Structure 1
Amino acid sequence: MRIHPLVVDGLITAAQTTVAVLLGREAVAQGWTALDAPAWVLVALANLPTFLRNRAPVTVCLLVHAVAVVYVSRGDWPVVNSFGPMLAFYTVASLRPARTTAACAALMTAVWIYAGLVTDGSSMASVVAQSVAYPVVLWWFGHTARRTADLTRQLRAEQAERARREVAEERVRIARELHDVVAHHMAVINVQAGLARFVFSSDARTAREALDTIAGSSGEALAELRRMLGLLRADGVQGAADGAPAPGLDQLADMVERVRAGGVPVDLRITGEPRPLPPGVQLCLYRVVQEALTNVLKHAPGAHATVQLAYRAGEMTLSVHDDGKGVNPARKQERGGHGLIGMRERAKLYGGTIVVGPRSEGGFGVHLTLPTSVPAARRGDAVAE
């Protein structure tokens, strides 16, 4: 439980005042005259205002030092009222800039020397040494406290900024996943719905097949959305909710079949020796293929697409290209599309390289290379068009 700062200040002031009162009662035993009523009033005025030292440090410092001057001028024991001025000066050193602290240090030194001059039997060498040593030590402690407070505030600000950045990155990730899920399946559903409407009266079998494809695509879209919502509710733990794993390369053929059913001829070629891959790498490859084929469905109707996936030593390469007119990436981004941005972000996340853009021989192509032999994330990235 955190104690309120005013409570802390009150406790410190009470403890300090109690010590001053106990010392005042020992004045006679130490060879000084007993404190009278005015002296006790000055003791109170030199200690109780320190309760407000954090709100008005300079004002409190000036006040208690002025009271201390009056107190020692009366010939009373100086030690009784020494703690209030020292605490007030420490507060100035911990809260105010060096110039203000230096002025208050000079004031404390002057008051200390003055007390030595007006007190009989004082050793001025000792008084001068103390008048320099105490302000220096208190200044150092105050400066350390101030620096610690500044570092604490800076750390909290950095933590808050990091939290905001992580929230923004998570929102981008969620938006990218939603785009990948919705855009692909809706593109297939849109094409199949148009086909079913066109042949509804003339070709019942084709219409039924189109409706079956719509049902399958919509069901898969809902399943992926449920999976994503389950991950969010479980703080990002995969397999929450219905336990469905993230899409991987084992589902690549099914996704290609859906695109074929949408009216785009697709060739799937896999070379190299298949091997287990990290789930994140598989999801990245799956999503890039999904986005690339979705773009063919939406922007290159009638084109033929080819997906080439190669297992290589220490890396995976993926190429998706078509022979249609393609899509201008800059124009697509101007319309607010997130697909190409998502592909770049995925490549960057796993330390891969991706090249997207129109091909010299015609059509549009995507070429992705992902490292798999070493931790890929944040290793470096390159994105080109």
Structure 2
Amino acid sequence: MRTTHGGPRAWLREHPLVPDAVLAVLLTAAAIPLAFVAGAPPSPEWPDPRPPSALSLTLIAVACLALAFRRRRPFAMLCLAEAAHTVLTALHHNASLAGVALLVLIYTVASAKGLALSLTALALDLVAFLLVLAVSGGGLNLTGEVFGVVLTMTAWVVGRSVRLRRAYLSELRDRAARLERAREADTRAARAEERSRIARELHDVVAHHVSVMTVQAAAARRILTSNPEGAEEALSAIEQMGRTAMAEMRSIVGVLRTDGQDGPAERGPQPGVRELPALVEQMREAGLNTQLWVEGERVPLPPGIDLAAYRLVQEALTNTLRHAGPAARAWVTVRHEPGEFSVHIEDDGTGMKAGAPAVTSPDGGRRTGHGLVGIRERVALYGGILRIGPRPGGGFEVRARFPLKDDA
């Protein structure tokens, strides 16, 4: 069963025929007796109207009852009432309140229909007036006619104003709805982008630290019996690496913490180029002979490029540690140039020979895995150029160039 919310006013808006029918009946009930009352206001066209007859009363009732369907068929009801009013005035009968019904219908057409139809309604009233003028032979009450024209134009102007205001409010509501939908779409896109960013960060952090921990664990297992002190150092390095990984992951996902009882999550600064020496030292401790060179005058980098460069070096060195072999060496070159920043990571691992399309590790994993695919997305996001592939003479290299805006 359908229920209506908003009270009687909302119900009347959903059922316009009811108030219109009540208005039509009340106007007819007032117009019929008024036609018989001595001294009842005559029509402006005829100062001395004839006594009411069955025909005149019927025409008055038709004009007034047309209001019952004014919002369903406004122009048709206007034509019907206009015809009844014209016949009444042409036959010298008192129109009673039929003129009021005409004013209401003209207002309804102007407020509910477009400009063309509302102008047609105004022209129809003018044609009816000219027709009565022709029948009367010029014997009209000029003051009454001017007053009638002013009332008609006022009703039309008020109707048009109401229609324009309704259209304006409707446009405001539509615009607000469009803005709300756009805001929701932007929010969803921002959330998706944030999830993608967090996924990339987590992949890079987990892949790097787990790879290093795996290498350290393998080394500890091999020397556990022959060199217990060395194995203990490797296990300590694994413990420290695990703590570092957990700290970084807490920093990355801290933005997702919403539980007020636990307080705000701790979020440290994201790593950047300045943390590369620590990363290189970490890789040396894991068994990868790594060298770092920084060329050019250091300049502050945009945070996104700074983080992307760090993750690029981290992912490339992690792949080298995993796939290039135990005797591999790696070189990291960071170059600051006017308008450009570049990072170059290369190794001499035996897994990649010149001309080979890709390198496969002993367990079947490819050097260009999901991590470097994510790095490619990072570099492209900041307008950079990335090259991943074999280096001449063997080994593997990753080279990225980022354009920098000139702030001068």
Residue 207 (str. 1) matches residue 231 (str. 2) = yes
Alignment partners' CA distance in 2, 1:41 and 1:194: 100
Counterparts in 2 of 1:198-277, with a 5 A limit?
198-233=222-257, 241-277=265-301
SS at match of 1:245: coil
Aligned position for 1:78 = 99
Give the match's secondary structure for 1:267.
strand
In structure 2, distance between residues paired with 1:241 and 1:334: 37
Confirm or deny that 1:313 pairs with 2:366.
no
Output the TM-score relative to the length of structure 2.
Answer: 0.64
Residue 224 (structure 1) shift: 1.0
Q: How far apart, in 2, do the equivalents of 1:329 and 1:92 lie?
A: 72
The 5 Å alignment of 1:1-385 reads 31-32=42-43, 38=61, 42=65, 45-46=68-69, 50=71, 60=72, 62=73, 64-72=74-82, 73=84, 75=95, 76-83=97-104, 86-87=107-108, 90-91=111-112, 93=114, 108=121, 112=125, 116=129, 117=131, 141=164, 155-233=179-257, 241-302=265-326, 303-324=328-349, 325-326=351-352, 337-374=369-406
Q: State the structure with more CA Rg.
A: 2
Flag the 1:309–1:70 CA change in 2: closer, same or farther, 3 A.
same
2-side partners of 1:65 and 1:280: how far apart?
Answer: 65
Separation (CA, whole Å) in 2 of partners of 1:225 and 1:329? 31
- Give the fraction of aligned pairs with identical amino acids, expressed as a percent: 33
* Cα distance in structure 1, aligned partners of 2:365 and 2:99: 78
CA distance in 2, matches of 1:187, 1:194: 11
CA contact (8 A) 1:352 1:371 kept: yes
Which residue of structure 2 aligns with residue 237 of structure 1? Answer: none
Q: Any idea what SS the aligned residue of 1:270 has?
A: strand
Distance 2:358 2:192 in 1: 24
What is the CA deviation profile of residues 109-157 of structure 1, one whole-angstrom value per residue up to 9, with x for unaligned ones? Answer: 6764675457986979x79x97xx9799689948877777766665555
| 1:324-365 C-alpha deviation (Å, 9 max, x unpaired) | 235967999999954223222322333333222222332221
1:307 deviates by: 0.6
Bigger shift: residues 202-211 or 216-225? 202-211
Determine if contact 2:108/2:159 at 8 Å carries over to the other structure.
no
CA gap of 1:373–1:80, structure 2 versus 1, over 3 A, is: same
Give the distance between the partners of 1:83 and 1:363, measured in 2 at CA.
Answer: 90
Instruction: Label 1:273 to 1:38 Cα distance change in 2 as closer, same or farther (>3 A).
Output: same
Aligned length: 341
Cα gap change, 1:317/1:112 in structure 2, threshold over 3 Å: closer, same or farther?
same
The alpha carbon displacement at 1:299 in A equals 3.1
How far apart are 1:253 and its partner, in Å?
A: 1.6
Asked if the contact 2:213–2:241 (Cα under 8 Å) also holds between the matched residues in 1, the reply is: yes
The 3 A distance-change label for structure 1 pair 158 and 269 is same
Give the direction of change, closer, same or farther, for the CA distance of 1:328–1:295 in structure 2 (3 Å limit): farther
Cα contact 1:46–1:68 (8 A) shared by 2: no
Normalising by structure 1, report the TM-score: 0.67
Structure 2 counterpart of 1:304, one-letter code: R
Letter in 1 for 2:331: T
Quick one: distance in 1 between partners of 2:108 and 2:394?
80
Letter in 2 for 1:247: P
Please tell me whether the aligned partners of residues 86 and 138 of structure 1 are also in contact (alpha carbons under 8 angstroms).
no
Structure 2 residue identity aligned to 1:68: L
Q: Flag structure 2 segments of 5+ consecutive residues without an equivalent.
A: 35-39, 44-51, 86-94, 259-263
Deviations 1:226-281 (A, max 9, x none): 111223448xxxxx732421112232122122222333221111222334434333
1:177 to partner: Cα distance: 1.1
Instruction: Measure the CA separation in 1 of the matches of 2:273 and 2:290.
Output: 16
Q: Is the contact made by 2:198 and 2:253 (CA closer than 8 Å) also made in structure 1?
A: no
